[in-house]
Structure 1
């Protein structure tokens, strides 16, 4: 009988030997991705501005082999990104295999009370939208689009090194966008956030094509509603995880619930593991059916 062990899930979806970087890896979706990678054999560098939280996550979930390495840094400026790259480079001599561009921000002045505004009243609707500020738009687009661009650009050499040292694996960038960049709605008044994520959707396609000569793949995950500090408002100080169980968020989806960490882990592992090495320039939208039930650009 021939051997088909290469088709077993534990081999297909293995991340053994891989080194990943997850920006914003200390909470929310970034933490879900980090845990999925670590539980399947990867070493993960997690980054954010909150060093104390990163260290606690590494201590709680990194295991005896210290599979999670915290690196404090800020992706909103070149100096912060350069600091991250240098520190990770000093600890990853063989480069990295996956960069999760996950860090992002949301929220703007027009969101508060948006659902209650009378959109048929031109003056009321105008006043609602004008509660946003140019500075809020600047900050959101700066972090969610420019920050992802400069982070990807800075990690290219480490990804290139990783591709040369890890046999059978083509390095990749996985941009974490959002269904807010696909839906034909303002995500409860988050016009700037939706615009930033739509820009990231397009930028991912451009990167995938432009990075072909480097043999660096670029894919994306566009999550729906998941428990995070962004959707829940905070995270547990001990687990660093968020909870939506006492809210109505996600209940109106065809799936009848918000996403769980298992759902995000499944999407993460498909793209990041050896199972996804034939995938380039694509996106996965683990969203509970949101983009099917509501008008969207897919």
Structure 2
């Protein structure tokens, strides 16, 4: 191979090539899920998006699926139900012989707690006697952790086919976790942070066990800082996009701003394309963890 031929390997379209890949993004109707969807579809992937609200998914396909190299295909599904996950896997299996990319993005937040009380009675009142229940913790874990396990394992055969049929490619699972699962602060929501820590560890366990089973699949997770989404901004506009004022984060993170769509796009394309990446946490947070410290 000549030096000039070697140079071709370093072109962006080769290093981050997702053309003709088949992908599934859960929670693809807004926020980080929509960012991931656009990252892949605009660069030539066929992307199935799921969520509980069909209207929202259809709007994403209508708005962002036109005049692009790839496709965006909506399928309504509830990934907190094992039966619904099986139905989703069966439906995609009926349409596709393989799956190259699975992005487990769907998630929810949890109740806000005031943790600054110094009196033990006041702290007890806030953390024990308030409206938080076992059921809320279970719901957060079900949505942010348990479904990662069942969605990933439901698609193992299709993902394995993606590896077998594409030379030089190993299919990949990307779990969207959070820096909230890395830092020691509860950030006023214990259940959410605990669930994201569990999601990060589940990623490592899945990566290890899948590799131990001799399957050529990669499992990684992206741990975002604050990005605009319905969770962080409380709503989205008519284009399914959310906004967080830049000034809200000046002096709070080294980057002095929340994350942008293109910041997440770069992280997604890197994580799904890098064939040497497995069992890792990709932190994209504007330096928040750097400034606050970890567990």
Q: Does 1:80 align with 2:84?
A: yes
Does the 8 Å contact 1:221/1:286 carry over to 2? yes
Match of 1:176 in 2: 176
2:19 and 2:70 in contact (8 A); partners too: no
1:196-235 correspondence to structure 2 within 5 Å: 196-212=195-211, 213-235=214-236
- In structure 2, what is the equivalent of residue 71 of structure 1? 75
Task: Tell me how far 1:270 sits from its aligned partner.
Answer: 0.4
Deviation at residue 167 of structure 1 after TM alignment: 2.3
The alpha-carbon distance between structure 1 residues 246 and 289, as it changes in their structure 2 partners (threshold 3 A), is closer
In 1: Cα distance, 2:53 partner to 2:270 partner = 29
SS of residue matched to 1:248: helix
Deviation for aligned residue 1:249:
4.5
Counting only pairs closer than 5 Å after superposition, residues 125-274 of structure 1 correspond to structure 2 as 125-130=123-128, 131=130, 132-187=132-187, 189-212=188-211, 213-236=214-237, 238-245=238-245, 248-249=248-249, 252-273=252-273
Q: Runs of 5+ in structure 1 lacking a partner?
A: none
Aligned match of 1:23: 26
Once the 2 structures are TM-superposed, how far is the Cα of residue 119 of structure 1 from its aligned partner?
A: 2.1
Q: 1:262 aligns to what SS in structure 2?
A: helix
Q: How many Å separate the matches in 2 of 1:243 and 1:251?
A: 19
Correspondence 1:105 to 2:103 = no
Q: Distance in 1 between matches of 2:121 and 2:43?
A: 54
Q: CA RMSD in A?
A: 1.5
TM-score (norm: length of structure 1): 0.92
Decide whether the 8 Å contact of 1:37 with 1:269 is kept in 2: yes
2:11 to 8, 11, 30: 8
Q: How many residues align?
A: 287
Unmatched tracts of structure 2, length 5 or more: none
State the TM-score, normalizing by the size of structure 2: 0.93
CA distance in 2, matches of 1:63, 1:140: 35
